[in-house]
Structure 1
């Protein structure tokens, strides 16, 4: 644990999570529970930006006794600004998978190297392959 502590504060975690990239939904986080998401691929890029929906993933990260547990879901981010669990079409799947895998590696590395915390997958986490 180079600079971290075993029990980092909520605000130290938020700061570290924000540094990973634009995935953190800070307004929907509370101590011990964090929400991330990614709009990885546009459903129909012929539509005007304000009418676009996206394929992607979202993840709830919850504190456990030994670290954190990730529960990933995948689907469509609709016009109402809500996630719907749906099968991602083949045309967008590789982009969504690649993005999620890159994010997961960064998150795992951040939790381990900065705070000495483990990252496990929730049993209900969606498989992407």
Structure 2
């Protein structure tokens, strides 16, 4: 493994992380810190799109040398566009967990195959499901 692949540039990481799916919040990323989120379950789809809220998850991914640390959180994405740490209702748990687990697996594989890097959970990370 070359030294270059062990320490990819911020822009190379951004481009690779974007390819995983529609989850990367590029405007809120900076060198070594990346933010992802997923609006998994609409709370009330009868509301107009700009007023809808969603149950889902978000991830703060931080680079620690040649590894990354994942801090997942679950909750409510409100109509103002803010994440709230809230307990998921039973009806949303399965779908939020499914999207979170699928994304996490892709993230592990991408970091390992593209950069030879590992991914660990932060001690405060929310557990799946």
* 2:8 corresponds to 1:26: no
Report which structure shows greater RCO (CA 8 Å, sep ≥6).
1
Answer yes or no: is the 8 Å Cα contact 2:6–2:66 preserved in 1.
no
The 2-side partners of 1:49 and 1:7 are apart by 41
Deviations 1:39-60 (A, max 9, x none): 0000111111111000000000
Report how far residue 23 of structure 1 moved: 0.3
Answer yes or no: is the 8 Å Cα contact 2:8–2:115 preserved in 1.
yes
- SS in structure 1 at match of 2:19: helix
The 1-side partners of 2:18 and 2:63 are apart by 17
Alignment coverage as a number of residue pairs: 128
The 2-side partners of 1:28 and 1:62 are apart by 13
Structure 2 segments unaligned to the other structure (5+ residues):
none
Runs of 4+ residues over 3 Å off in structure 1: none
Answer yes or no: is the 8 Å Cα contact 2:33–2:63 preserved in 1.
yes
Backbone CA RMSD of aligned residues: 1.3
- SS in structure 1 at match of 2:5: coil
Q: TM-score, normalised by structure 1?
A: 0.95
Q: TM-score, normalised by structure 2?
A: 0.95
Alignment of 1:36-75 (within 5 A): 36-75=36-75
Report how far residue 17 of structure 1 moved: 0.5
Alignment of 1:1-129 (within 5 A): 1=1, 5-129=5-129
